[in-house]
Structure 1
Amino acid sequence: MHDMQDTALLFQFGDANAAQLASSTLQELGYDPVIQQGSSVHIHIEGSDLTSALEIAQSHGGQLAVQSSIPDIELTNDAYNMANITIPAHVVNEDLVAQDETQSGYKNWDDDAPAEDDYFPDDGSYGYFSGDVHT
């Protein structure tokens, strides 16, 4: 697999406004974009997330113009390779698997709810004039 350190990418956009929007978004996420010729954005991938950069540029209508010797297919493979996707340990929850194995399984929590009228605090008696009394 190709090392993505110090890789330069150039995205071309339909107009300068789209390039500016993409550049602003990329900058907010820690990239160092440079707008070139009004409608192109140049960035360096230095340990940053290649997939995010591609998706941000594409969401603003940008197209990748490769300036390095990396073929397009290799860029795509590096961006979406399953080996590159990390899953933090706090996302994996063994308790859900253990719960599926139990006899009781899932339970509808609404079965234990009080009667529907218990949630309505107004008993309807106001002790005032009825609504049809006019002065």
Structure 2
Amino acid sequence: MFDFSDSSSAAMARELLLELGYDPVMHHESRMHIHVEGGDLTSALEIAQAHGGQLVEQAHIAEEAVTSSAYALDAITIPAHVVNEDWIDAEGARNRDQDSVMTSEELLPDDGSYNHFSGDVHI
């Protein structure tokens, strides 16, 4: 809950918070609380304080709810392309280092596009 010195500063803070996707709720002309679920708490506090708001009370939240809200571990999705149910044994045994071997031409720094400057000049 934030108290503002006047209704115009509270309205400006409310408009900006709404624009950024927060859910501010006005209780009186100069009193507002912000629902910060899945949003950036620091930004919401900074916006309210930048418009002259002073934090007057906070709702008590259980520690598990704070951790769950901050990290959202139950909402972590695993993309289907990462799950390898159809893994082919030959694919797992393949030497992937062969794909990264560069030829001597690829290692040359000057392919002739430097005009008259040598590509291997060191200072």
Name the TM-score class by shorter chain: 0.3 to 0.5
TM-score, structure 1 as length reference:
0.44
TM-score, structure 2 as length reference:
0.48
